[in-house]
Amino acid sequence: MIIKFLTVERNAAVLLLVSAVLGLVAYNTGLAPEIDAARNAHFAIDALHLDLTLDKWLGEFFIAFFFLLIGLELKREFVSGVFKNRKAIAIPALAATFGAIVPALVYFALTSGITLEGQSVSEGWAIPMATDVTFALAIF
pLDDT of residue 63: 78
Residue with the bigger pLDDT between 84 and 120: it is: 84
Confidence of residue 25 (pLDDT cuts 50, 70, 90): very high
The pLDDT value given to residue 119: 77
Q: What angle do CA 49, 50, 56 make, to 5 degrees?
A: 165
Does the structure show a pLDDT above 70 at 32? yes
- Distance between alpha carbon 67 and the CA centroid of its chain, in Å? 9
Q: Give the DSSP letter string of 55-122.
A: HHHIIIIIHHHHHHHHHHHHHHHHHHSGGGSGGGGHHHHHHHHHHHHHHHHHHHHHHTT-EETTEEGG
Closest CA to 44 of 57, 62, 59, 58: 57
For range 29-55, the mean pLDDT: 90
Per the prediction, the chain carries an average pLDDT of 81
pLDDT of residue 28: 92
pTM: 0.55
Task: Report whether pLDDT(37) > 90.
Answer: yes
Which residues are within 8 A (CB) of 5 and not within 5 positions of it... i.e. 6 or more apart? 11
Vertex 8: Cα angle to 57 and 128 (nearest 5): 45
Determine the average pLDDT of the residues in 49-54.
Answer: 90
Output the pLDDT for position 129: 65
pLDDT band at 90 (very low <50, low <70, confident <90, very high): confident
Q: How confident is the model at residue 135 (pLDDT cuts 50, 70, 90)?
A: low
